[in-house]
Structure 1
Amino acid sequence: MNKVYGTKNYIHYLIEKYSDMLIRISYSYMKNLSDAEDITQDVFIKFLEKGPEFENTEHEKAWLLRIAINLSKDKLKSAYFKNTAPLEGDFIDTNQKDDEIIQAVLSLPLKYRSIVLLYYYEDYSISEISNVLNIKESTIGSQLSRGRKLLKSILKEDFEYE
């Protein structure tokens, strides 16, 4: 594909292709849809400013994810964010069971949460997650396994009461 960075068509293509994924990963960190949308917008602005060249679309996707993760972490560290109170009821529309699963995933510790989201929601392989997060594949595998066990225990508690 002939890419001309900065053209409206290419930016629209990127937004259409990656915005949902970037919102999901940002939401996993921020737990707030509005902040996740802001971060996603900032990712595309950074893309326009930098105009990076990539070997292939997988590198492009990994770069966008890495920027979204870094911006999310930066926002979580910011003094402004630490002094804000979350709004109740700020969630992505889903049916009740899906919402319970999403809430269970979001309740995981961050090191498991991002890996579980990338693996199950974004269909990334362990190798791809390793490249995006700059963590060894063996560590990704063990954290994914621990995340699954934790998620299973959380969901087991939630669904036992139904």
Structure 2
Amino acid sequence: MHQNSRIEQVEEIIRRNSDMVYRLAFSMVKMQQDAEDVCQEVWMQYIRKMPTFESLEHERAWFIRVTVNLCKNMWKSAWRQKVVSMDMSVAEEIMPGDGTFDKKKEYSKAESKNLWEESLLTDKEEGVVEAVKRLPVKYRAVIHLFYYEEMSIEEIARSLKLRPSNVRTRLTRARNMLKEWLKEDV
């Protein structure tokens, strides 16, 4: 294959999957910088391995699997476990508990955009988003893939290398946890 056409093919595959990979990573790691780091590593793994895909579904499943694994690895790392508590105090400085942000503090363009977009959510939507963020990673992943990526149970099972019955169980447990938490907030 000609070098330029291979580069164009790689760029197209990355372009086709970048939004999905970022959304999935962000839903699992909950922080923009970490999600971007995961995405970067996904693309590096893709370029290093250069897998060939039988179909678009196979391609998508590969990227989901790699993203989920990298997110899990990030959460397992000792460095990450120590840094999360520090990041939470920084987050509280940026966004005090009353839901307003400190006007005296300088915000990056990305932080400002995220704060503005988050303020557009209704209280109910905000409650759902926060409840989903509280879910354990294995439940958050299936909720994200089912509702946000609109994948079927069978597609999720193939992507995560689970049986469909395991995916259904995780969805049911996640929904029950969300219902319970959202009931408490009402």
After TM superposition, the score normalised by the length of structure 2 is 0.74
Count of aligned residue pairs for this structure pair:
155
1:68 Cα deviation after fit: 0.7
Query: Which of residues 121, 131, 146 in structure 2 aligns to 1:96?
Result: 121
Q: Which residue of 2 aligns with 1:23?
A: 22
Query: In the superposition, relative to structure 1, how do residues 123 and 37 fare at CA in structure 2: closer, same or farther (>3 Å)?
Result: same
How does 1:2-151 map onto structure 2 within 5 Å? 6-7=6-7, 9-84=8-83, 85-86=86-87, 87-88=90-91, 89=95, 93-94=117-118, 95-97=120-122, 98-151=125-178
- 5+ unaligned residues in a row in structure 1: which ranges? none
Q: CA deviation at 1:144?
A: 0.6
Tell whether the 8 Å contact from 1:6 to 1:48 is kept in structure 2 after alignment.
Answer: no
| Separation of aligned partners in 2, 1:22 and 1:111 | 16
Letter in structure 2 aligned against 1:103: E
Aligned mates of 1:103, 1:119 — CA distance in 2: 18
- Bigger Cα Rg: 2
Runs (5+) with no aligned partner, structure 2: 96-110
8 Å CA contact 1:6–1:51 kept in 2: the answer is: no
CA-based RMSD: 2.1
User: Amino acid of the residue matched to residue 73 of structure 1?
Assistant: K
1:8-60 per-position Cα deviation (integer Å, ceiling 9, x unaligned)? x3343233322222122212221211101110111011111111001001100
1:5: Cα distance to partner?
A: 7.6
